[in-house]
Structure 1
Amino acid sequence: MAGNSAAGNRTTVDEPRPITAANTAAEAEAETAAPPVPLRRNLRFQALWAGQAAASLGMRVGDTAFPLLVLALTGSSTAAGAFGAVQMITTLLLGIHGGAVADRLDRRRVLITSDAARLLAATSVPVAMAFDRLTLPHLLLVAAAIGATMAYSGPVRMLAVRSVVAPEQLAQALAQDEARLNGAALAGPPLAGFLYGLGGAVPFLGTTFTSLLALVSALVVRFPGRPADARPNHEPGTAEQQPESGGALAGFRLLAASPLLRSVLGVLLVVNLAGAALVLPVMVLLREQGTGSGGIGLALAGEAVGALAGAVLVSRLHRMAGPGALLLVVAWATVPVPLAPLLPGGAVTVFAGLFVVGLGLPSLRVMLDLLVFRQVPDELRGRVIAATMTLLTAGMPAGTLGSGLLLDHFSPSVALAGITALLAVALLPATASRTLRRAVWPTAPAPSQA
């Protein structure tokens, strides 16, 4: 629920509402205009996608290379882990404000500023290495800067995609975006290792280059800077001031007002938490079974490979089942995966289990867009995106911490069995929910052919 200054004038989302020309002015124009060009010929979308792909790849390379650099600099595993912790905590702390900024300020300028800040932070590392002035406090400041840019650029990037494609092409555009995310997740770690082998500064020169590409994309691609109801030329006290009076927490209130969205986000939060929790026990158990570091890395890549394959199945899976049923099927398919390392086959079995789970993840991400992001007014969308991402991301550090605590007291096998049991129990209330099981897809224009 998002409140505003006018008494009794509230925006709620109890069930997905049909997507009509009244939702936004942009959608109304799209319905009356000529058919849109195929997505592959939409130069603004493709240029924006290329910039986002470069940014994602650079982030994934950095996720592996920065801890290796900290470890080489300090010899401390705790310090190496601190880099990722500082980055994630900064993103979580600033995420809510990032959504409010996306709704109230010029979105294109926010994206340009964020990309420029990330470029400066990335560039500072190889420069400091060249002058032999690199320190741990410097690297932790870089981690905080990168985390901050993610908090502010994340919602804007998602909004930018919606502004450069026709509504009927959005599902197809999001499926292509899934290929970007999962391709970066798959290519980033091995590329970081390869570049690091060429020289300690090489991967950070790579992140600098990808940050530059992202900034160039933000500079050359023009998209609407603000939602229609947030433009500065509106008269004070009119309905157009709703975004300001809604507050930074308007996204959370809107999500909390809908039983369906509460159930959807609850299931996704539990799945994210379990996914983060199983990584450490799986790594420990596979190592105890004699699997090398390379084999462990390949086993854990199963989810990214499955998600790449699943990106082409999004439309088919959405036709086969309603959103609630699809969500529950994918979630329950996740339940036995923590037990995969206990079965014969070791790393191969783990890869297969994660691959199966990965197949359904792109359809869930697009489902989230259809059920949530496309069903709220544009002037609230940044805050709703930020609230959703904050809720889903919060489960990851909780899962990692929880698995560490389990391993302090139990064997990896017991820890994995416990994760399986907790996941199954947590899914029971959602499975019993009629609201979730009977949910239907919002009506939308038929997707065009690219």
Structure 2
Amino acid sequence: MDTQRTRRAPFAALRRGAAMPVAAQVLIAGTIFSRLGDTLASLGLVLHAADGNIRFGVTEVLLAELIPTVLAAPLIGSVVDRFSARAVCLWALLVQSLSLSAATAAGGFHAKVALIALSALAGVASVAAGFKMLPVVAGEQHTGRANSLLTAGLSVAGLVGPPLAGFLNSLWGTAALLAADAVSFLVLAGCTTLAVPRSVDVAIGRRPATKLADGYRALRDAPVVGTLMPALAAAMLATSIESVAGVYYLRGVADGNDTVFGLFLATWALGSIPGALLAGRAGWSDRHTALILGGVSGIGLGLLLAGLVPVAAVMFPLFLMGGFGNGACNVGLRNAVHAHVPAEVHGSAWACFQALSRSCIGLGYLLGTPNSLISSRGQVIISGAIPLVAIVWAAVATLRRGESTVTEPSA
């Protein structure tokens, strides 16, 4: 079936001057809007727990978003690969919207968190299905650029979301933020319906029989991805350690000035935007190994030097560098999985990567928690050293396996 022809018709008039299919742009825009809604809801519940002095309330919110993903991702990923990715995505988004709507009306805090956990479970499916659909609507030649724009847009959502959530929470309360997230899932569902017509479903690889380990096996066996997975895990672990320990260390560097502390955090997100955009430029989007190794190196160096040089003015360029590396690394990873993992297991692979990433994040939160053995500054220094050690190991492993650090052919 000529799926390119079936996709062209609804957007033919709009695509004449576009470098990328409008269908892909619609899907990307909806995904970014939905991520902004997620940020509002998550931070809204955190603020609700803090304002109400709910014991372990913040931890409960974070665990509700982590644990379901880690436990259920392999099963959910296999569902995405076994059925139509479009249908799975739309049903998952409906469950997410209904969960957030119910959380808006729920009276108790723990009930709200339970519904957030249900939404997180459905979110594994919608994210994995979205990852699977993006190359179909963008086309092979535009997939790298699509991943670049999506990653940059998600960074913008991460930059705008927290201050917007704080402002809206002070005006209307947590219920309004949860309702906004519910609406954002409906918006993404509408964008998905427009971008991926029913006729395109047959082009999205489906596997009638799948095993729970298929996603992990696909990541392990894929060129580039399997070799560099330890370095990616180290980067996720490092940024999670810093996100906790850095609260104490960076506020000390800023002399307790919360505005300066907030600017530190915003600088990292700001740096990730050009990193993601440059990684999608022609000639770079297929340099998966270079983007991942270079990105992880930028993260490690930024965190290490930030810990070694506790000067506020120095933090800004270092966090820009770390954020730049983060954006480039994320694009390199998405492109590598799209290029080297078979399409019929894209859903399982991306769902399993979500599980791996959330595991690293959870462990990082624990390691970054203040203790009597290592100061917060020491924890930040260690967080920067971890990716750099992993990079050395990955570089040696890559050279041994004969993989190019410059470019790899698309699968």
- The TM-score range, normalised by the shorter chain, is 0.7 to 0.9
Q: How far off is 1:100 after superposition?
A: 0.8
Q: Structure 2 vs 1, CA of residues 85 and 317 (structure 1 numbering), >3 Å: closer, same or farther? A: farther
Matched, 1:430 2:373: no
Matched, 1:375 2:340: yes
Matched, 1:413 2:399: no
Q: Secondary structure at the match of 2:407?
A: coil
Q: Secondary structure at the match of 1:248?
A: coil
Q: Structure 2 vs 1, CA of residues 45 and 229 (structure 1 numbering), >3 Å: closer, same or farther? A: closer
Q: Structure 2 vs 1, CA of residues 53 and 146 (structure 1 numbering), >3 Å: closer, same or farther? A: same
Matched, 1:313 2:278: yes
Matched, 1:388 2:342: no
Matched, 1:269 2:233: yes
Q: Structure 2 vs 1, CA of residues 319 and 55 (structure 1 numbering), >3 Å: closer, same or farther? A: closer
May I ask how many residue pairs the two structures share in their alignment?
Answer: 398
2:318 paired residue number: 353
Report if aligned partners of 1:103, 1:227 keep a CA contact under 8 Å in 2.
no
Match of 1:56 among 35, 53, 61: 35
| Higher Cα radius of gyration | 1
Equivalent residue letter for 1:212: L
Q: Distance in 1 between matches of 2:58 and 2:329?
A: 32
Q: Structure 2 vs 1, CA of residues 171 and 284 (structure 1 numbering), >3 Å: closer, same or farther? A: same
Q: Equivalences for 1:114-263 in 2 at 5 Å? A: 114-128=92-106, 134-200=107-173, 201-223=175-197, 224-226=200-202, 230=206, 243-258=207-222, 260-263=224-227
Q: Structure 2 vs 1, CA of residues 229 and 317 (structure 1 numbering), >3 Å: closer, same or farther? A: closer
Report if aligned partners of 1:122, 1:211 keep a CA contact under 8 Å in 2.
no
Normalised by the size of structure 2, how large is the TM-score? 0.86
Give unpaired runs (5+ residues) of structure 1.
1-23, 129-133, 231-242, 446-450
Equivalent residue letter for 1:364: C
Matched, 1:103 2:81: yes
Equivalent residue letter for 2:168: L
| 1:6-29 deviations in Å (ceiling 9; x for gaps) | xxxxxxxxxxxxxxxxxx986899
Q: Distance in 1 between matches of 2:286 and 2:222?
A: 21
Q: How far off is 1:440 after superposition?
A: 4.7
Q: Distance in 2 between matches of 1:302 and 1:288?
A: 17
| 1:322-358 deviations in Å (ceiling 9; x for gaps) | 4334433332232233341552532x43332121122
Report if aligned partners of 2:80, 2:88 keep a CA contact under 8 Å in 1.
yes
Q: Structure 2 vs 1, CA of residues 65 and 424 (structure 1 numbering), >3 Å: closer, same or farther? A: same
Q: How far off is 1:425 after superposition?
A: 3.0
Question: Higher mean Cα deviation, 119-128 or 391-400?
Answer: 119-128
1:335 paired residue number: 300
Q: Structure 2 vs 1, CA of residues 422 and 107 (structure 1 numbering), >3 Å: closer, same or farther? A: closer
Equivalent residue letter for 1:115: L
Equivalent residue letter for 1:272: M
Q: How far off is 1:199 after superposition?
A: 2.1
Report if aligned partners of 2:144, 2:286 keep a CA contact under 8 Å in 1.
no
Report if aligned partners of 1:407, 1:415 keep a CA contact under 8 Å in 2.
no
Question: Higher mean Cα deviation, 58-67 or 77-86?
Answer: 77-86
Normalised by the size of structure 1, how large is the TM-score? 0.79
Q: Equivalences for 1:17-36 in 2 at 5 Å? A: none
**Larger helix proportion of the pair:** 2
Q: Structure 2 vs 1, CA of residues 120 and 184 (structure 1 numbering), >3 Å: closer, same or farther? A: same
RMSD: 3.0
Report if aligned partners of 2:276, 2:327 keep a CA contact under 8 Å in 1.
yes
Question: Higher mean Cα deviation, 358-367 or 185-194?
Answer: 358-367
Match of 1:113 among 66, 76, 91: 91
| 1:57-86 deviations in Å (ceiling 9; x for gaps) | 10111221111113334x125122211211
Q: Distance in 1 between matches of 2:285 and 2:25?
A: 29
| Identical-pair percentage | 21
| 1:271-328 deviations in Å (ceiling 9; x for gaps) | 1111111122221023334233332222112221011122331145954994334433
Report if aligned partners of 1:91, 1:151 keep a CA contact under 8 Å in 2.
yes
Q: How far off is 1:155 after superposition?
A: 0.8
Q: Secondary structure at the match of 1:70?
A: helix
